[in-house]
Structures are given as structure tokens and as C-alpha cells.
Amino acid sequence: MNNLPDENLPITTIAVDAMGGDLAPTEPVLGAAQATLESTAHVILVGDKIRILNLLNETEYNANQIEIIHTDEFVTNEDIPQQVIKKKPKASMILAAKLCREGTVQGLVSAGNTGAYVLSASQYVPRIVGVRKTAIAAVYPTQNAQKRNDYFALLLDIGANVHCATEDMVQFALMGMIYASDIKGIPDPTVALLNIGKESYKGGEMLSRVYKILDRLPNVNFVGNIEGDDVMKGLADVVVTEGYVGNIVMKTIEGIAETLSHLGRYAFKHRFLWRLGLIALSGGIRTLKQLTDYSEYGGAPLLGFQNVVIKAHGRSKAKAITNAIKLAAKSYRDNICGKISNEISQFESNTFIDDIKYNF
């Protein structure tokens, strides 16, 4: 058996919102079951116990690594995020988040309503001391201009916040840097600022202050501003932006594959060769869409919490949930949250940074 716990490793337990996502509870439960076969992670499934047990009965799993906490409340995509905590205090997503606060679990996975998930985590998962704002980081495919071992980069924030202050953005860079370093297995990931021009003074006051701070932080491998057409090139491992812009950019990219195939049909209507090409490619375009679902990395991390919090895509299949659980367990064992905490403390206590922040 390949899932015998290494006796040197502490047990890592991940709470999974069994009722979150378009395909819940089936895919979250099957994904959790598979995770217990593929890894040493323990899983607590939070949701409708009878439905969960029925699903588990039909699949293989390691019974020693699975536990169920019952609730019959859950959040739908139609729920207004701001109302969820008051109206559905026993929702599976919320109970799962509370398990973090109690120290019962080390990480959290949900494919449910993003806004409600961010708010539940903000309410019940302890924040790292010194972190001003948490951020959602998208893991997205690039052209790999830097010739890394993989084709993915991190874009944050993509919507935990709308507008940000200078220090928020610098903290996003630091948190993204730690995360990218770990998941990409590289010691010194490059960090860039998404802007409307390369020059340091571009994009208004806030962005040019962020530029100056990142440029002078000795432990940040800052490569400067990148523009919209560079986002997909992979010129940097971590791309920092305000939630407002990151959300619009990420959704624009997600909408592209569909549009291209549609536009293609229009533009190439009378060209047999092109038509042939589109038919041959249709499977490929689907593959690209799946890539942008970031299922390969198991989901988008919410950074800034003392626990690992992973948002899996709403349409996640079992495999994506399995990956998300393994990712959460690995991130915990790699002590990502502790490393982020150290990095943030170091930044906040750095007096030379105060000079930069307030004197230019």
C-alpha cells in the first residue's frame, strides 16, 4: 500500500464541503474517497450524512481516513454571499470553516459559491497576524516564457477584494511568492505588477508606490510592470493586481476559448480547410478550457489565513477535488501559512520600508 502514513509525519486533516459546487455532493464525495486512497490525508466530509454514505457505499475509500459531520443546510450559487452567515449558520461550508478555528482540521476545500466561501473563511478561519487583506490567487496556464517545468502562473487578487491600498498589494506579492515557490518548486519566483505600461510611474499613484517598494525589497525577485498582452506569456511566476482588475482579466481569459471557436465559425465560414481545422481542434479547445479551470493544481488558494483554504472550481469533477485535498495537505506539510506569516512579519517590521512607503 502506498498510503501508509510516514510515522514522522503528523496526521493532516482536511475539511471538505461535500455540498459545494455544481456537481455536489457526488463529485466532492467521490473526490474525497479517492484522496484517501492516493494520500495519507484524513478527510472530514461536511454535509448530508445519508447522501454521503450512499455515495461512499458505491466507491472505494480508506475508512480510517474519512469522517462525516452531518448538516442539512448548504449554500447554493443563488444565495447572496452577504446573507449566508446569518441565514444559513449551519451550512456545510460554514461548519467546515469553523473546524479550522477549532483546530480540528488543517485545511479547507470547497467548490461552492465563491463569495460566500470567502466570507465564511474570513469569519471563521483565523487570519495570519499582520495580513491586511486576504486574496484569491488564480493558477492559470501561460506560454511559459521563463522555461519553467510547468506552464502555470499565479494571478492575485482575482476578487476577494475590489480596490486595494499600497500595502495590500505588497502583501499580495509576498504571499503569492511563497505559494508559487512551493507549488512550482522554485526558490526565487519572479514577481510582476499588472499595469498599463512598463515604466515605474505608470498606472497612477498607488501602483507606482507598489512598484517602488517591490523594486527595493531585497527578497522579492521583482521584474517590474507587465501589460495585458504579457499576462499569458508567463513572464512572471506571480502577477499582482487589484481584485477588481484581476477578476475582470481572469474572466476575460476564461471567456476566450468559447469566443474563438465561435468567431472562427463566422470568419472561416467559406474556407473548407479552416473548417476542417476547427473540427479537428474542438477537442483541443475543450482541453484548453479545462486547463483554465485550474483543476490541474486542484484549485485557487485563498491566501492570508492560518489554514490552507482552497477554492475548487464550481464545475469540479472528483479528480479536481482529489487534487485540491492533496494540495491542501501538501501545503500544510510544507508550512506555507507559517512561511507567509514570517514573510509578512518581516515586511511589516522593516523600517526601511516605512521610508519608502511614506517618503516619495
250 binds its own copies (CB under 8 A): yes
- For its own copies, give the closer residue by CB, 1 or 280: 280
Judge whether 92 and 19 are in contact, CB under 8 Å.
yes
13/307 Cα distance (integer angstroms): 11
Selected binder of its own copies within 232, 289, 319, 350 (CB under 8 A): 232
Applying CB under 8 A, among 229, 351, 358, 359 the residue interacting with its own copies is 229
Among 97, 121, 139, 194, binds its own copies (CB under 8 A): 194
The residue within the footprint of its own copies, chosen from 228, 338, 352, 355 (CB under 8 A), is 228
- Least separation in angstroms between CB 239 and its own copies: 11
All three cell numbers of 108, joined, read 479547507
- Which listed residue (274, 314, 339, 353) binds its own copies by CB under 8 A? 274
Residue among 114 and 171 whose Cβ is closer to its own copies: 114
> Which of 13, 11, 44 lies closest to 29, judged by CA?
44
**Among 2-10, 26-34, 92-100, 224-232, the segment contacting its own copies (CB under 8 A):** 224-232
- Would you count residue 83 as binding its own copies (CB under 8 A)? no
298-317 positions binding its own copies, by CB under 8 A: none
DSSP 286-300: HHHHHHHTTGGGTSE
Which residues in the 133-162 window bind its own copies by CB under 8 A?
A: 141-144, 151, 159, 162
Stretch near its own copies under the rule CB under 8 A, chosen from 11-19, 69-77, 190-198, 306-314: 190-198
Q: DSSP string of 52-88?
A: HHHHHHTS---GGGEEEEE-SB---TTS-HHHHHHH-
Assess 255 for contact with its own copies (CB under 8 A).
yes
The reply to whether 198 sits near its own copies by the rule CB under 8 A is no
259 binds its own copies (CB under 8 A): yes
Kindly state the smallest distance separating residue 207's Cβ from its own copies, in Å: 9
Specify the 3-state DSSP secondary structure of 13.
strand
Using a 10 angstrom Cβ sphere, with 0-12 exposed, 13-18 middle and 19 or more buried, the burial of residue 65 is buried
Assess 267 for contact with its own copies (CB under 8 A).
yes
Q: What are phi and psi of 317, to 5 degrees?
A: -90, 175
Q: Helix H segments across 81-189? A: 81-87, 92-101, 114-124, 166-184
Residue 242 is classified by DSSP as -
Give yes or no for residue 129 binding its own copies (CB under 8 A). no
The reply to whether 47 sits near its own copies by the rule CB under 8 A is no
Element (H, E) at 285: helix 272-292
Q: Is 79 in the site for its own copies (CB under 8 A)?
A: no
Residue of the chain from 149, 283, 351, 358 that contacts its own copies (CB under 8 A): 283
Distances (CA, A) of 29 to 50, 51, 100, 110, 118: 12, 9, 20, 11, 22
In the bound state with its own copies, the residue whose beta carbon lies nearer, of 11 and 276, is 276
Which alpha helices (H) appear in 15-165, and where do they start and end? 26-38, 49-57, 81-87, 92-101, 114-124
* CA distance linking residue 38 with residue 111, whole number of Å: 20
**Residue 286 engages its own copies in binding (rule: CB under 8 A):** no
> Which residues are within 8 A (CB) of 141 and not within 5 positions of it... i.e. 6 or more apart?
151, 152, 232, 288, 291, 292
Interface residue with its own copies among 5, 224, 264, 314 (CB under 8 A) is 264
Is residue 296 near its own copies by the rule CB under 8 A? no
Return the SS3 of 316: coil
Residues of this chain that bind its own copies (CB under 8 A): 141-144, 151, 159, 162-163, 194-196, 202-204, 227-233, 243-245, 247-260, 262-264, 266-268, 271, 273-274, 276-281, 283-284, 287-288, 291
